[in-house]
Structure 1
Amino acid sequence: MRIVIIDDDNLVGISLKTILEANQEVEVLAIGNNGKEGILLYEKYQPDVLLMDIRMDIMTGIDAAKIIIEKDKNAKILFLTTFLDDDYIIKALQLGAKGYILKQDFESILPALKAVYSGQNVFGDKIISKIPSFLDQKKALEDLPFSISQKELELIRLVADGLSNKEISQKLYLSEGTIRNYLSNILEKLDLRDRTQLAVFYYQNHLDLYR
């Protein structure tokens, strides 16, 4: 997994490189200090994942991500920041960033990178808790029935596949409590009683065709 790190604190960047490269699966290609360098380094190295801070001088991570994603819609950007700010979180989601985690949760950085690399979205529990209606705030895709968002469909699919809350939490890198809350909201939204009804609903309405 090839990574580029962008952080305005040199010490943080170097420390992250040391920590991540302790895992033989990770190669840190370059370290930058602001959004402009993030754009240049992304274009130069085309990393598997761009690990980027948000608040930086010269250009923020949000502004850089917008430019990068406009040029490459498949760009995988994981924001790593100390700021638990609603505006930043919402902007990150709107841009299409693959994740947003806090530097304080250093143990989750490598698992989050692996998850993003494998195509998943990763948002730390503290960030999810800031947006109780996280799933509903994501615009439902027009071609999905019942106003189901893409993230809701992913959770319903995992339930239909027979995964437990614990297995789903491990797969999505979220706590079991967060998964329970999401599923409770989905059941209420679809007027269903339990997981079994949800699984039946999934197949009866041919949601498996949206894989």
Structure 2
Amino acid sequence: MKIVIIDDDKLVSMSLQTILNAHEKIEVAGVGNDGTEAVILYDVHLPDVLLMDIRMEKMTGLEAAETIIHKHPKAKILFLTTFSDDEYIVKALKIGVKGYILKQDFEGIAPALEAVFQGQSVFGELIVDKLPNLLQNSEIFDYGELNITKKEYEIIELVAEGLSNREISEKAFLSEGTIRNYLSSILEKLELRDRTQLAVFYYQHGGRK
């Protein structure tokens, strides 16, 4: 797994590079210190995962992520930050990043990178607890109007809980391939890009059918 690290604290970025390079499955292809460098380094290395801070001078991580995802819709970006600011979390989710974890959870960084690389969305426990309140909309939303079936809605709920395809398949007693097919259909019907946007959509629309 090839990654790029972006953090305006050079000591932090160097420490992360040293620690993550020690993992057999991780190769640090580049290191930068602000959002403008993130955009450049992403184009140069096309990493499997971009690990990036949010608050940075010249260009923030949020601005860089938006620029990168616009150009590379399948980009996998994991935010690593000391800030659990509600506004940052909501913006990050709406942009379509794959994860948002706090630097305090240092031991969880490598597993989070691996999870994002495997196609999962990763959010720290503190952030997951905040999502329903941050994104909840009191208006009743009828998924049936968009031809979402009962089974598809059940899968949407499980995605919103942060479960992987494997975990969903175990709960729904369906194969992972079937779950992938369901997700493709759901994303097409709701005109969404990925499971992160699906979770945001669910919470923004009240989590109701």
What's the TM-score once normalised by structure 2's chain length?
0.71
Q: Percent identity?
A: 54
Equivalent in the alignment of 1:165: none
Contact 1:128 1:134 in 2 (8 A): no
What does residue range 190-205 of structure 1 map to in structure 2 within 5 Å?
Answer: none
Structure 1 segment 59-208 matched on structure 2, within 5 A: 59-133=59-133, 142=146, 144-145=148-149, 148=153, 151-154=156-159, 155=163, 157-161=169-173
Structure 1 residues 22 and 62: CA distance shift in structure 2, 3 A: same
1:64-110 CA distance string (max 9 Å, x none): 00000000110000000000111111111100100000000001100
List alignment gaps of at least 5 residues for structure 2. Answer: 175-205
Q: Is the 8 A contact 2:99 2:123 kept in 1?
A: yes
SS at match of 1:8: coil
Secondary structure of the 2:101 match is: strand
1:131 shift after superposition: 2.3
Instruction: Find the counterpart in structure 2 of residue 36 from structure 1.
Output: 36
* Structure 2 counterpart of 1:167: none
| DSSP-derived class of the 2:132 partner | coil
SS at match of 2:120: coil
Which TM-score applies when normalising by structure 1? Answer: 0.70
Measure the CA separation in 2 of the matches of 1:134 and 1:41. 32
Secondary structure, counterpart of 1:67 in structure 2:
helix
Residues 86 and 105 of structure 1, relative CA distance in 2, 3 Å threshold: same
In structure 2, distance between residues paired with 1:149 and 1:76: 26
SS at match of 1:144: coil
Q: Quick check: 57-66 or 139-148, which moved more?
A: 139-148
Runs (4+) of structure 1 exceeding 3 A deviation are 132-137, 139-151, 153-158
Shift in alpha-carbon separation, 1:161–1:140, aligned structure 2, 3 A? farther
What is the aligned residue count? 166
How far did residue 143 of structure 1 move?
A: 5.4
Q: Deviations over 1:142-168 (max 9, x none)?
A: 453359387524455441138xxxxxx
